Amino acid sequence: MDALDQLVRAGAGLLVRVDDVLARSGAPDGDPIWPLLRRLRVLPGDAVRTVAGFDPAPLAAAGSALHDLRPGYARGHAAVARNVDWTGAGADTFDAHRTALTAHLSDDPDGMGGRLAAAAAYAEAVADWLTQSRSTLARTLAPVLTCAEAVTLTAGPTGADPDRDDTLAAARIGTVLLQTVAEVYEHGEELLGRHASGLAELSYRPPAEPTPGHHTDLRLPL
């Protein structure tokens, strides 16, 4: 259990209260929370609990497992790339397929080895993003739990218009929390954009079919 887990547990009642007030009463016209609600389409408490559910461990393990597969691809690439001293039309056809498969298994960006490395890097980058997102939200949530607005929502407003006080308090807390969640979301989108080209599907590209000829013999060195 990290800091975010502890803070979410401690602030569970407050987060429920914020969501209840916003769902029942909304927020004042023009309040900064409205663009965030429209963009994220989630209430602050639900957003916080979603980030608190992020678990970077499986993705970090997946990245490590993908790296472990790379030597096998390298061995396959080396075996296929080995030239065979054959001659004849059959040898030419074989060599064309060997060349295409060698390229497919390579460490180039458009090769299986390269795409495997890209997938591993992406899994590790997402794991880091999840870890950082949790830390970022924890730093935002900690002062929220003891702010004046939190006291208003949990202890009860003392002003002449209790409902309005609750609404303003929930909107202010919600704005702070959703701004952080929006930043987390933006960083995730940027991460995907940086890695998108290396995650695209990679299909094997066979060589062009040779033009049929009269000489289809295959001569092997003895």
DSSP, residue by residue, the chain: --HHHHHHHHTHHHHHHHHHHHHHH---TT-THHHHHHHH-S-HHHHHHHHHT---HHHHHHHHHHHHHHHHHHHHHHHHHS----EEHHHHHHHHHHHHHHHHTSSSTTSHHHHHHHHHHHHHHHHHHHHHHHHHHHHHHHHHTTSHHHHHHHH---SS-HHHHHHHHHHHHHHHHHHHHHHHHHHHHHHHHHHHHHHS-----PPPPPPP-S---EE---
Q: What class, spelled out in words, does domain 3-150+166-204 have in CATH? A: mainly alpha
pLDDT tens for each residue of 99-146: 888 888 888 888 888 899 999 999 999 999 999 999 999 999 999 999
pLDDT tens for each residue of 62-81: 999 998 888 887 888 888 87
pLDDT given at position 155: 83
